Amino acid sequence: MIWIPGGTFVMGSDDHYPEEAPKHPVKIDGFWISQTPVTNRQFARFVEETGHVTLAEKVPDARDYPGALPEMLRAGSLVFTPPATVAGRDISQWWQFKFGANWRKPLGDLSDIRDKLDHPVVHVAYCDACAYADWAGLDLPTEAEFEFAARGGLEDTEYAWGDELMPDGIAMANTWQGIFPTSSTKPAGHERTSPVRSFPANGYGAYDMIGNVWEWTSDYWSDRHPEPAPSPCCLPYNPRGGEAALSYDPQQPNIRIARRVIKGGSHLCAPNYCRRYRPAARHAEPEDTSTSHVGFRCVKRPSD
């Protein structure tokens, strides 16, 4: 793990997606953070020592999903599947719930991780990330901690490495190259996740805080950030955001599943679709959801 010094920084952005606004100063204490996302190799050791079974490996309880088709209540996870063509922005064109997909079999039953041990573990729901962190004597980062660490000590820059997405044409993170979701021009072996440390570290020495996989934080989702404090004396201090009930998806009123903030963007973020390869970017993820592009890393606080 690496040390992230405490300090005050401007969190969020007023220039991109509405959920990133308003930008506002936040103060946090120093903490340690994992240098990389948790890898398949590390997660395998955790499973071997604890016998943990991930949510994607369990059959869903019908009581949690009123109205679900009985044939869909099987163990599995969401897998990105590039379509030949697209019509509109309906994500079901490139996301499929695959029975048998889980952290061991990231593309479904016929896949494995034998050549991906140093890739970030994926298909982990929020409870799986928490179980790993508890086993390791660590915690998941708050949204503020993750964003502060992702910025790498830079102030007022668009990206974690400066103001240009690909300086001198060089990819600084594992993000989509080409036209999403049908055309990828990335090199062989990096079409999806890539081994950790494949791209440059940020100013604090942390890898893959942008791109590769989205990462869980401990904060409940909210549609906006709080308004800036009226004076320096009142800055949010080590904020831990949100309330479970306020994080529920209003588009699914019959399903009461909390959503958490995920940060960092992933290998699927592209200029023509999802420009969330920035420290300020954030997204909502239901606690019960696992996908082929979400992982996590851990933190340790001096006070813990």
pLDDT at 187: 76
Nearest CA to 1 out of 30, 31, 45, 27 is that of 31
pLDDT at 167: 96
The long-range contacts involving 103-107, CB below 8 angstroms and separated by at least 24 positions, are: 103/40, 103/43, 103/54, 103/56, 103/128, 106/79, 106/192, 106/292, 107/79, 107/292
* Mean pLDDT value across residues 238-256: 91
Read off the pLDDT of residues 269-304 as tens digits, 9 standing for 90 and up.
999 999 999 999 999 999 999 999 999 999 999 987
d(CA 182, CA 191): 12
pLDDT at 26: 97
Q: How open is the CA angle 72-266-285, to the nearest 5 degrees?
A: 45
Read off the pLDDT of residues 69-103 as tens digits, 9 standing for 90 and up.
898 899 999 999 999 899 888 899 999 999 999 99
pLDDT at 142: 98
* Mean pLDDT value across residues 110-116: 95
Assess whether pLDDT exceeds 80 at residue 49.
yes
Residue in the block written with tokens 């679709």: 273
pLDDT at 219: 98
Residue 156's pLDDT band (boundaries 50, 70, 90)?
Answer: confident
What count of Cα atoms within 13 Å lies in the side-chain half-sphere of residue 70? 0
pLDDT at 87: 87
Q: How far is CA 36 from each of CA 21, 149, 150, 165, 198, rounded to the nearest angstrom?
A: 27, 12, 11, 21, 11
Residue type, 285: E
Q: Is 206 helix (H, G, I), strand (E, B) or coil?
A: coil
pLDDT at 112: 97
Pairing of strands 214-220, 294-295: parallel
Pick the CATH number of 2-38+125-300 from 3.40.50.2000, 3.30.465.10, 3.90.1580.10, 2.40.50.100: 3.90.1580.10
pLDDT at 131: 98
